[in-house]
Structure 1
Amino acid sequence: MKLFKRFWMVFFPLTIIIIFALIIFEIDPRHALEKSKNLKNTEATSQPVAMVHSVQSNLGQRKYILNAPLIHQQPQLDRGCEVTSLAMMLNYAGVKVNKMTLANNIDKVPFMKDGYRGNPHDGFVGNIKTFSKSGLGVYHEPLARLAETYMPNRIIDLSGESFDKVLDQIIKGHPVVAITNYTFKKLPDGQFRTWDTVDGKVKVTYYQHAVLITGFDDQYIYFNNPLGKKNEKADRDDFIAAWKQMGSQAISYN
Structure 2
Amino acid sequence: MERTMQTTRRYKRTRQPRRIVLLWLVCLFAAVSFGVLLAISPAAKALLRSEGGPAPAVAPVEGREMPGVIDAPFIDQRDKYPTGCESVTAVMALQYAGVDITVEEFIDNYLPQGNAPYTREDGTLVGADPWKVFLGSPYEESGWGCYAPVITEALEQLLQDRGLEGLSVQELEGESLDKLCREYIDAGTPVLLWATIAMEAPVESTQFFLEDSGQLFTWLYPLHCLLLTGEDKDCYYFNDPLEGKNVAYPKEQVEAAYEGIGMQAVVLEGSVQ
Task: Report the TM-score when normalising by structure 2.
Answer: 0.66
Aligned residue identity for 2:252: D
Q: Go from structure 1 to structure 2 and tell me whether the alpha carbon gap of 1:62 and 1:232 turns closer, same or farther (over 3 Å shift).
A: farther
- Aligned counterparts of 1:135 and 1:244: Cα–Cα separation in 2: 23
Q: Matched residue of 1:151: which SS?
A: helix
Q: Where does residue 192 of structure 1 map in the other structure?
A: 205
- CA RMSD, 1 decimal: 2.4
Amino acid corresponding to residue 71 of structure 2 in structure 1: N
- Residues 55 and 89 of structure 1, relative CA distance in 2, 3 Å threshold: closer
Q: Residue in 2 aligned with 1:9?
A: none
**Residue identity (%):** 26
**Compared with structure 1, are the counterparts of its residues 215 and 129 closer, same or farther at alpha carbon in structure 2 (3 Å cutoff)?**
same
Which residue of the partner structure matches residue 163 of structure 1? Answer: 177
Shift of 1:60: 8.9
Distance 2:247 2:187 in 1: 20
Specify which structure has the higher proportion of helix.
2
Larger Rg: 2
Shift of 1:127: 2.2
Match status 1:79 vs 2:91? no
User: Could you tell me how far 1:101 is from its partner in structure 2?
Assistant: 1.1
Q: Could you tell me whether the CA contact under 8 Å between 2:59 and 2:233 is conserved in 1?
A: no
Q: 4+ runs of 1 displaced by more than 6 Å?
A: none
| Alignment partner, residue 145 of structure 2 | 137
Gaps of 5+ in 1: 1-52
> What amino acid does structure 2 have at the position aligned with 1:160?
G
Q: Find the aligned partners of 2:59 and 2:221 in 1 and give their Cα distance.
A: 38
Q: How many residues of Structure 1 are paired with residues of Structure 2 in the alignment?
A: 198
Q: Provide the rounded CA distance (Å) in 1 between the counterparts of 2:217 and 2:233.
A: 34
Maintained 8 Å contact 2:59/2:232: no
Deviation string 1:34-88 (CA, Å, 9 cap, x unpaired) is xxxxxxxxxxxxxxxxxxx85747x898543100000111311111111000000
* Equivalent residue in structure 2 for 1:95, among 99, 102, 115: 99
If the length of structure 1 is used for normalisation, what is the TM-score? 0.70
Q: Distance in 1 between matches of 2:152 and 2:58?
A: 33
